[in-house]
């Protein structure tokens, strides 16, 4: 039996609801659905850029395809620097399993402290962090084999330097981004670097590529660089320099070897050095390419230029005699001295015995401008035309400011400064019959065109004086080389200290050429602060010159121009500073 509902007895049910109210509610609901549908259409169809970007930030990655950096080769095609395949390890911190045993295993493979690894992984908000760059491929394979969540390995390249410390200052090195930081790696970075490629991909949360988006841009490898350096001569010169620095308990040393005919730089050796592949805890002392970056007062190595200028101006001839007694000369209150009181000397003998007094007497017959012009013409006071970082210009003051005593001291190498490289290039004047050779770090394709500075006959006359300096009665008989005639000039200069000169600190030099009649190479040697008793350039630097000349000419295939027989090396005449 059914029971009817008492509508009339219930006040709530008895009141009639207006029709418009129910319609309004339905209308609001319909409008809400329309708004949601419109918003969805707007987001997904009309303006989806923002959300697309947010999605890509979380899952899309641009993978860099590394380019192989160009090789650096010596003049004979031997490798000085090359890129080899390596691996770089990276992580997504939030995905990494923090199992201590697994992390310890990973740290052991990467040869890094566990604390350092944990620190790299502690920021879980990051979606990418490098763990270690440029590890060996074999290490990369072992890391992959661990299959650790959130730890990934990508292919990479790293630089190798077969010549290690012998050529470090020439070649330089790159950083982990494969950008040049020192030496040729920095100077020719654009040529060597190439251009990396890229690939846009979608990855899942585990780092696996699930889709390639867009086109892949292939990497462009860098170009190889063929240097003028001869790696065999470089290595030999480095060894002899290192031995000399250690023997004489010196602070440092440098050797420069130039091909006098082509202007090519065959050697730039420095000691102390470093290994480009292991650069931890390096100091500026080790990193500096001293042959180019350090300037100093060149001492008696400047005297041949004064003699050459005096010949050129017709003031003297090689056999002209000059009175140097009593071995002292006073100019405006300052006294210039020789190591010995030689008396009357010819111009030849002034260079042979390195007489300060004789050199100053020639110099004071000239105008300051004359000396300044020849010094400038051979490159002093000017930066060498080499694209090498840190090369210095040295110091050569304007001639109008020279006082008489300064003109005098500049004639024997005090009051101006230069690098060892500048000194070597300046001596090409005598090797090339009065022409200055342009220099290059790249292998020359055509013969170098020099700039004439003086007559060939005067350059030849000075070259004969340089030869006499290496003979009996000269300052550098220890520069003699078995089988080859040599010529050169010693230099020994007090080091500047504060506003004056240190009484017991010296730089010892020797710069010369060989063979004498048809010079092929110019070699310059500098030993800084020898402290084992000997410090004259003829005793400290000349023996290094001798060994480097002999080995260099032999490697270049130059036939001996002297009979190969035992040589008795005479005692060197002490040089004047």
Residue with structure tokens 């004064």? 306
- Exposure class string for 513-545: b at 16+ Cβ within 10 A, else e: bbbbeebbbbbbbbbbbbeeeebbbbbbbbbbb
Q: Are 351 and 462 in contact (CB under 8 A)?
A: yes
Give the number of other CB atoms < 10 A from CB of residue 15.
Answer: 7
Give the number of other CB atoms < 10 A from CB of residue 204.
Answer: 10
Give CA separation, 476 vs 332, 480, 546, in Å.
32, 8, 10
The DSSP annotation for 281-294 comes to T--HHHH--HHHH-
> What's the distance, Cα to Cα, between the start and end of the chain in Å?
139
552 catalytic? Reply is no
Residue 278 DSSP class: B
Q: Which helix (H) or strand (E) holds 237?
A: helix 231-247
Residue with structure tokens 């923090």? 98
Burial class (CB in 10 A: 0-12, 13-18, 19+), 457: exposed
Three-state DSSP state, 463:
helix
Give the number of other CB atoms < 10 A from CB of residue 88.
Answer: 20
Contacts of 563 (CB under 8 A, 6+ apart): none
Contacts of 555 (CB under 8 A, 6+ apart): 230, 232, 233, 236
Three-state DSSP state, 132:
strand
Q: Which of 231, 300, 355, 411 is catalytic?
A: 300
The residues carrying an active-site annotation are 300
């Amino acid at each position: 039996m059914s029971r009817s509902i008492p509508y009339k007895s219930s006040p709530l049910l008895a009141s009639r609801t207006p029709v418009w109210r129910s319609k309004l509610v339905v209308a609001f609901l319909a409008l809400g659905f329309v708004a949601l549908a419109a918003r969805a259409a707007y987001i997904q169809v009309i303006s989806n850029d923002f959300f697309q970007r947010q999605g890509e930030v979380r899952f899309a990655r641009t993978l860099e395809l590394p380019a192989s950096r160009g090789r650096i080769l010596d003049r004979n095609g031997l490798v000085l620097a090359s890129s080899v395949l390596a691996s770089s390890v990276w992580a997504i911190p939030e995905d990494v399993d923090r199992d201590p045993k697994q992390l310890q295993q990973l740290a052991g493979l990467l040869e890094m402290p566990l604390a350092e690894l944990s620190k790299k992984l502690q920021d879980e908000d990051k979606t990418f962090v490098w763990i270690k760059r440029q590890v060996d491929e074999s290490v990369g394979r072992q890391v992959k084999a661990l299959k650790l969540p959130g730890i990934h390995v990508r292919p990479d390249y790293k630089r190798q330097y077969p010549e290690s410390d012998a050529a470090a200052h020439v070649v330089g090195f790159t950083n982990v981004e494969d950008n040049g930081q020192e030496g040729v790696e920095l100077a020719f970075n654009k040529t060597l670097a190439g251009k990396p490629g890229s690939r846009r991909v979608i990855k899942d949360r585990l780092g696996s590529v699930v889709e390639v988006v867009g086109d892949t841009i292939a990497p462009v490898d860098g170009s190889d660089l063929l240097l003028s350096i001869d790696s065999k001569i470089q290595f030999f010169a480095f060894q002899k320099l290192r031995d000399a620095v250690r023997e004489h308990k010196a602070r440092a040393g440098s050797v420069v070897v130039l091909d006098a005919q082509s202007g090519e730089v065959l050697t730039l050796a420095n000691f102390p050095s470093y290994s480009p592949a292991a650069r931890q805890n390096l100091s500026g002392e080790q990193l500096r390419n001293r042959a180019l970056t350090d300037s100093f007062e060149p001492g008696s190595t400047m005297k041949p230029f004064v003699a050459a200028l005096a010949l050129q101006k017709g003031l003297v001839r090689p056999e002209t005699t000059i009175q140097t007694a009593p071995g002292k000369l006073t100019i405006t209150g300052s006294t210039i001295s020789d190591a010995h009181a030689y008396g009357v000397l010819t111009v030849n003998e002034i260079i042979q015995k390195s007489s300060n007094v004789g050199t100053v007497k020639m110099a004071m017959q000239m105008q300051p401008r004359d000396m300044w012009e020849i010094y400038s013409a051979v490159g002093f006071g000017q930066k060498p035309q080499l694209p090498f970082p840190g090369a210095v210009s040295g110091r050569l003051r304007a001639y109008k400011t020279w006082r008489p005593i300064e003109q005098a001291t500049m004639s024997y190498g005090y009051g101006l400064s230069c690098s060892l490289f500048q000194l070597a290039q300046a001596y090409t004047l005598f090797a090339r019959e009065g022409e200055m050779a342009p220099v290059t770090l790249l292998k020359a394709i055509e013969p170098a065109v020099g700039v004439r500075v003086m007559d060939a006959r005067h350059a030849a006359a000075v070259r004969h004086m340089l030869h006499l300096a290496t003979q009996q009665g000269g300052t550098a008989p220890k520069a003699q080389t078995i089988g080859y005639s040599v010529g050169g000039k010693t230099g020994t200069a007090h080091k500047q200290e504060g506003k004056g000169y240190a009484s017991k600190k010296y730089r010892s030099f020797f710069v010369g050429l060989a063979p004498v009649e048809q010079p092929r190479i110019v070699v310059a040697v500098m030993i800084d602060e020898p402290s084992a008793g000997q410090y004259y350039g003829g005793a400290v630097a000349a023996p290094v010159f001798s060994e480097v000349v002999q080995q260099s000419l032999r490697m270049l295939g130059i036939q001996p121009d002297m009979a190969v027989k035992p040589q008795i090396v005479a005692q060197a005449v002490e040089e004047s500073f």
